[in-house]
Amino acid sequence: MNKKYILFAFALFACFGSLKDINAGENLTRNYAAINVTEEFINNSIQNDGNKIVNLTLSYTNLTAHELNKIISFCPRLRELYLWKCQDISFEDVVNWSKCPELGVLDISSTMITNTGLEKVLTGCLNLKTLNLSDCKNLNFEAIKLSNCTQLISLDLSFTKITIEGLKNILTHCPNLTNLDLQFCKTTLDEKYCQEYLSLTLPVHFLLFFEAFWRP
């Protein structure tokens, strides 16, 4: 009888141990859009589950660079991060990008990011495949260093000040790019030259969003 109890105890231990492992590997999605970000919020809502969070939305919040550095360090398994319209972030001061090596999707559209800040993103996120820079007005795509963009597949540049020289820079350094959004870039791109250049340089499987490109 004692042996049966011992075996039962071992079975329970193995069961709960397995459950613990499953929980530890759980993938969590968290959406905190439009909230008031505080240190208390970060410590209570993100730090505790940080190792499980793979998809995180903090769009339209008062998030700062200091707070983003903490969040990134708490979420090493992060794969998707959405920061649309987080205009209080000084991306030049975000230094922890390399702490989330699995990050593949990043939305920093409608932010105040500059070339320096974006280069820090690209240096730290070597597996980035989808990048949304829509409505980022402070970027000079002609001068930006893009040597770390070899994995990039999808790029949204709608509503930016992209020029044909900036476009050349991007296509030269992003060999795997197959999805490019250039909607509403009419004021900075020459229609005829741009279309001729793109027709000569883009692969057949390239998907280009032009629906509203030169709409009057």
Quote the pLDDT of residue 189: 75
Phi-psi region of 85 (alpha: psi -120 to 50; beta: other; left: phi over 0): left
Quote the pLDDT of residue 209: 67
Q: In this structure, are residues 135 and 160 in contact, taking their beta carbons and an 8 Å threshold?
A: yes
Quote the pLDDT of residue 187: 72
Quote the pLDDT of residue 202: 67
At 128, is the secondary structure helix, strand, or coil?
coil
Phi-psi region of 125 (alpha: psi -120 to 50; beta: other; left: phi over 0): beta
Q: Which residues of the chain have pLDDT under 50?
A: 1-24, 211-216
CATH code for the domain defined by 28-209: 3.80.10.10
Single-letter code of the amino acid located at 210: F
Question: What are 172-200's pLDDT values in tens digits?
Answer: 999 899 898 988 887 777 766 676 667 66
Parse the chain into domains and list their residue ranges.
Answer: 28-209
This model's pTM is above 0.85? no
Question: What are 83-117's pLDDT values in tens digits?
Answer: 999 999 999 999 999 999 999 999 999 999 999 99
Q: In this structure, are residues 185 and 159 in contact, taking their beta carbons and an 8 Å threshold?
A: yes
